[in-house]
Structure 1
Amino acid sequence: MFVTENLTKIMENINHAITRANQINMIKLDDVKLVAVTKNHSVLTIEKAIAAGVVAIGENRIQEALDKSLTLTGKVEWQLIGHLQTNKVRQAVSLFDMIQSVDSERLAIEINRVAKKINKRQDILMQINVANEDTKFGISAKEVMPLARVISNLENVRLCGLMTVAPFYENTELTRPIFREMYQLFMGLKEANLPNTSIEWLSMGMTNDYSVAIEEGSNLVRIGTGIFGQREY
């Protein structure tokens, strides 16, 4: 099955990138978590990926994730990687182990309110639009610490790190400065040692650029096409 073959190749690439990160950039990476992005892929295909070793899946749309969760038999961690509207927070908190796309104080407060109602502490990442693209969600680099301080005061939300979606370049070397800046923001947040946080995840890198992202310090990559091929519509 091509999913198994693709995963084997991706894990080899991830391990090589970890070695390069440690040797070239002196970044201490012990491991990198793979989130398999399953948008528009069937439950059967996802179950084959889980059988091949995938432990976390990422979904862009809440309704699609909810539908799949009703029939998926394999045990898996659910992560929301798509934009989250405040009117969808109740559904998101009830399903996802991690919400990667928190990009405002208002959204963080609403997640906290909903999580408190169901006695849950919701793990989140802040989404950063480090390249300042008009078409992308996320806060700017200068907003990282102010928002992190607000989130650190929310009892039912745990800030676990940062996420970004880099611009798409055919030449992936062009993403390197963006990933490098993200790593600096991540380390600055980690070193701030804010209360009520557990800063451990830097989510950056997708099918096209995950090797470069890891070389620059990513320890969580989101890969869909590289595992499953083109999306099923």
Structure 2
Amino acid sequence: MAVNEQVYKELIQELSTKQVVLVAVSKTKPVSDIQKLYDLGHRDFGENYVQELLSKQPQLPTDIRWHFIGHLQSNKVKYIAPFVHLIHGVDSLNLLKEINKQAAKHNRIINCLLQVHIAQEETKFGLDSDELEAILNNVGDFQNICIKGLMGMASFTEDVNKVRNEFAVLKRLFDLHTQQQAPNIQFSILSMGMSGDYKIAVEEGSTMVRIGSLLFGARQYNS
């Protein structure tokens, strides 16, 4: 399935009225699909894998805002540091240190979101509330990163109340730390919500959603 233009236009209309940014999750999708959405005016695209992002980025327009939304290993930061717009899944102080180091090499400030573990699933990455606070208290010397907010993923479940409660926990943490402004801590983005739960996320205060299958259809993996 290629890009669903009608769904895209409806999503943009729905989200823009609420001032929510749509990140089109383009992982496993061909460059042609990304280009088609770009031609419709879209600029924010999300990728999960460094190698795939490195393959696509040179083939597409330079004004695309690339979001890295997967689990990022420290030894891969150097590859995306020259151009990445926003790193969503920062879950350790060591990873932030490496992002800061690589950003300095390119004379850039890289925007980051801290990933908080809100789902009751062991497979999800992320910080707990104490780890989150510890990181925010220890990044004062990092001059080449800016922490723009939080990211989280709810449990994969049909229990709407559970999903809503998990998003509400993240929103409370976001509101708590919004007061903690500093030169490199500027909370303005709460990234939560995907194709299956974005409506609940927006109701609970999300300012950025990551949507793939609604736009592009099911993911295509090589066998």
Fold in common (TM above 0.5): yes
Aligned: 1:90 with 2:78:
yes
Q: Unaligned stretches of 5+ in structure 1?
A: 19-30
Match for 2:192 among 201, 204, 209? 204
Q: Name the structure 2 match of 1:44.
A: 32
Whole-angstrom distance in 1 between the partners of 2:136 and 2:98: 15
Aligned to 2:11: 10
User: Cα RMSD (Å) of the superposition?
Assistant: 1.7
Deviation at 1:170, TM superposition (A): 2.1
Secondary structure of 1:203 counterpart: strand
Q: Which has the higher helix share?
A: 1
Kindly report which structure 2 residues correspond to 1:82-161, keeping only aligned pairs within 5 A, or say none.
82-161=70-149
Give the letter aligned to residue 74 of structure 2. T
8 A contact 1:60–1:81 mirrored in 2 = yes
- Counterpart for residue 203 of structure 2: 215
Give the equivalent residue in structure 2 for 1:231: 219
Contact 2:150 2:190 in 1 (8 A): yes
Letter in 2 for 1:5: Q
Q: Which amino acid aligns with 1:156?
A: N
State the distance in 1 between where 2:6 and 2:56 align.
24
Q: Which residue of 2 aligns with 1:24?
A: none
Q: Matched residues in 2 for 1:41 and 1:147: separation?
A: 34
CA distance in 1, matches of 2:181, 2:100: 20
- Check the 8 A contact 2:120/2:155 in 1, yes or no: no
Residue identity in the other structure for 2:167: F
1:227 partner SS: helix
How far apart, CA to CA, are the structure 2 residues paired with 1:85 and 1:74? 25
Size of the aligned set, in residue pairs, is: 220
TM-score, with normalisation over the residues of structure 2? 0.92
SS in 2 for 1:151: coil
Percent of pairs with identical residues: 36
Instruction: Name the SS for the 1:136 alignment partner.
Output: coil
AA partner of residue 102 (structure 1): V
Counterpart residue number, 1:25:
none
Q: What are the within-5 Å matches in structure 2 for residues 164-183 of structure 1?
A: 164-183=152-171
- Check conservation: 1:41, 1:231, Cα contact below 8 A: yes
Give yes or no for contact 2:3–2:37 (8 Å, CA) kept in 1.
no
Is contact 2:15-2:21 (8 Å) kept?
A: no
Moved more, 56-65 or 86-95: 86-95
User: AA paired with 2:105?
Assistant: K
The residue that corresponds to 1:78 in the other structure is 66
**Alpha-carbon offset, residue 173 of structure 1:** 3.6
> Structure 2, unaligned stretches of length 5 or more?
none
* TM-score (normalised: structure 1): 0.89
Corresponding letter in the other structure for 1:162? L
Distance 1:228 1:122, change over 3 A: same
